[in-house]
């Protein structure tokens, strides 16, 4: 009888999942864990390709860096709009520091945003780091449908493995403190 019930549940599960092919979203990437296995489209812009050190579709841990800061944002999100100048400051601080430039890289993912909408955000705020569209929320879903702006910092080891060292919703507390924490937690050398 128990076995029958078990089989029943398995069948029910299979049935439900077949009715509902969109799997429930996972949890946001956890500190100490890894990123979901998500591929981003190859950067359209030559400067972005050179900056990230790759061409064609890629996964975040393939980026040539010791750590990558990912911002999940939306052109339509008021807090992301408000935060944009601070995030730009962070990027400028990294690029302006020879000890960090090339070691910490940044990118943004515009959840639910078309390439046009990401372009609007990039132009409006003069964002100098690569931004990627996510028009059908596919990446957002894999990232645990986080609210925005959401920041994830991943440490990339020389052997290609990686580990999430920061994963948090909302504005970070000051550019310098945030940067210092990344350098410490990702062990930037």
Partner 1 sequence: MKKKGLIGAVFFLGAFLLLAAGAPVYSASEAFKDNIYNTGHLKSRDSVLKVKVGQRAPDFTLRAVAGGPVSLGQFRGKKNVVLSFVPAAWTPVCSDQWPGYNIVKDLFDEHDAVLLGITADNIPTLFSWTNQMGTPWFPVLSDFWPHGKTAARYGVLRSDGTTERALFVIDKLGVIRYIDVHDINQRPSLEVLMGELEKLP
- Residues lying near partner 1 in the complex (CB under 8 A) are found at 1, 4-5, 8-9, 12-13, 16, 20, 22, 24-25, 74-82, 111-112, 114, 116-117, 120-121, 124, 137, 140-141, 145-149, 169-170
Residue 67 or residue 69: which is nearer to partner 1 going by CB? 69
Residue 61 or residue 133: which is nearer to partner 1 going by CB? 133
Residue 40 or residue 146: which is nearer to partner 1 going by CB? 146
Closest approach of Cβ 185 to partner 1, in Å? 23
Closest approach of Cβ 181 to partner 1, in Å? 20
In this structure, are strands 104-111 and 67-73 parallel, antiparallel, or unpaired?
A: parallel
Residue 1 or residue 37: which is nearer to partner 1 going by CB? 1
Closest approach of Cβ 99 to partner 1, in Å? 32
Quick count: other Cβ atoms within 10 Å of Cβ 93? 16
Query: Residue 140: which of 26, 2, 1 has the closest Cα?
Result: 26
Closest approach of Cβ 124 to partner 1, in Å? 5
Closest approach of Cβ 182 to partner 1, in Å? 21
Query: Residue 108: which of 100, 98, 90, 99 has the closest Cα?
Result: 90
Are the C-beta atoms of 89 and 175 separated by less than 8 Å? yes
Residue 11 to residue 173: CA distance in whole angstroms: 49
SS3 3: helix
Size of the chain in residues = 189
**Which residue is it, tokens 């020389």?**
158
* Tokens at 112, concatenated: 């639910």
Residue 25 or residue 181: which is nearer to partner 1 going by CB? 25
């Amino acid at each position: 009888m128990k076995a029958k019930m078990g089989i029943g549940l398995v069948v029910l599960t299979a049935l439900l999942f077949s009715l509902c092919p969109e799997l429930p979203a996972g949890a946001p990437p956890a500190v100490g864990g890894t990123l979901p296995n998500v591929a981003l489209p190859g950067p359209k812009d030559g400067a972005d390709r050179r900056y990230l050190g790759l061409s064609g579709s890629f996964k975040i841990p393939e980026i040539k860096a010791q750590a990558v800061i990912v911002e999940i944002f939306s052109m339509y999100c008021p807090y992301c709009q408000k935060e944009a100048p601070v995030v730009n400051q962070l990027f400028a601080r990294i690029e302006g520091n020879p000890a960090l430039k090339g070691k910490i890289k940044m990118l943004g993912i515009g959840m639910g945003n078309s390439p046009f909408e990401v372009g609007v955000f990039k132009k409006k705020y003069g964002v100098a780091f690569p931004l990627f569209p996510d028009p059908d929320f596919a990446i957002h879903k894999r990232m645990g449908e986080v609210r925005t702006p959401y920041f994830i910092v991943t440490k990339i080891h020389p052997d290609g493995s990686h580990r999430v060292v920061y994963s948090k919703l909302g504005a970070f507390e000051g550019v310098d403190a945030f940067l210092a924490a990344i350098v410490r937690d990702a062990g930037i050398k």
